[in-house]
Amino acid sequence: MSKMISRAVLAVLATGFATETMAVEWNVSVWGKRRAFTEHVEKLAELVAEKTGGEFTMNVSYGGLSKNRENLDGISIGAFEMAQFCAGYHRDKNRVITVLELPFLGVSNLEEEVAVSAAVYAHPAATDEMAQWNARLLMTSPMPQYNLVGTGEPRDELADFDGMRVRATGGIGQAFEAVGGVPTSVTATEAYQAMESGVVDTVAFAQHAHLSFGTINQADWWTANLNPGTVNCPVVVNIDAYESLSDTHREALDSSVPEAIEHYLTNYGQLLEKWDGVLAEKGVKKVEISEDQIAEFRKVAADPIRDKWIADMEAQGLPGQELYDLVQSTLKEAKMSN
């Protein structure tokens, strides 16, 4: 009898160990707090767990694993399996995807942003460059065009941007610099303090970030239609971790991306619908920039910055012109399908 019990106990233990070895838990490094910008990551984790019956789970950490500027480094050494980062944080490490941060590309909505990002992410130059960091591009974090919040008198003409200290990264920072602004690339989590202490006069963010990082609470005004560009923030996975997944788990991950993106778009759309109410509630003036001022901004910033970017990429052996043309052709197709 005791032998039978022992065998039964061993069988249960063996089953437990077998189940444990099948289980996969990924650590995911993001930053700030849960917000519209991270909703697709949260949804992806939810979907993967559902599809695998809890065998494949993701632990989404908001700053507990790495600083946001070090997420790509963390991926490269396998410190965690998935991470989100923004191209402007380290342009030398992800040169290819910075094409998506060029000012005044003509992207007018989040669906178009998803389309152009997917096209660039699939380009061999992008996959090869990310492979140098042991990273695989999984999905984008589509954001609307950035706009400014600022203190004091509204800056509604290009002349007002001369000497303006602005928190802006990537191509947006270059655009403001072209019209006399003084960009600084403090991280998103430092933006509120920079604004509060007067280190910057203005902050360029998408709407969700103005809310999440509190800059809207310091603001006297917001530019409703400047739309100089946006930043590109991919979600990547460690290649070794991705390739070590079972076929079932890999399929669960890959097949969940479209639904996660769709959830993100729906959620962000709801935020945009409420934005005017948020401005009114917080007493922030909505500033409209005249079309002639925007045209002048585009003339000064868009063409020279684009041409320099293409030349710089080509000089480094990257297909700058091809990547820019890919963005424009993809954008044209997306607009036609809309």
Looking at residues 159-184, what average pLDDT do you find? Answer: 94
- Give the count of alpha carbons within 13 A of 1, CB side only: 0
Question: What is the structure's pLDDT at 325?
Answer: 98
Question: What is the structure's pLDDT at 188?
Answer: 87
Looking at residues 200-214, what average pLDDT do you find? Answer: 93
Supply the pTM of this predicted model.
0.85
Question: What is the structure's pLDDT at 11?
Answer: 47
Nearest C-alpha neighbor of 334 from the set 121, 116, 180: 116
Question: What is the structure's pLDDT at 132?
Answer: 98
Question: What is the structure's pLDDT at 42?
Answer: 98
Looking at residues 307-321, what average pLDDT do you find? Answer: 98
pLDDT-derived band at 12, boundaries 50, 70, 90: very low
Looking at residues 280-309, what average pLDDT do you find? Answer: 94
Q: Which tokens go with 202? A: 């203005």
Q: How many CB atoms lie within 10 A of CB 307?
A: 13
Question: What is the structure's pLDDT at 2?
Answer: 45
- Give the count of alpha carbons within 13 A of 36, CB side only: 20
Q: What domains lie within the chain, and their CATH numbers?
A: 25-143+231-271 (3.40.190.170), 147-230+283-337 (3.40.190.170)
Per residue in 239-249, pLDDT tens? Answer: 999 999 999 99
Question: What is the structure's pLDDT at 22?
Answer: 76
Per residue in 90-143, pLDDT tens? Answer: 999 999 999 999 999 999 899 999 999 999 999 999 999 999 999 999 999 999
pLDDT-derived band at 187, boundaries 50, 70, 90: confident
Looking at residues 41-51, what average pLDDT do you find? Answer: 98
Residues 6 or more apart whose Cβ sits within 8 Å of residue 268: 36, 39, 110, 142, 144, 208
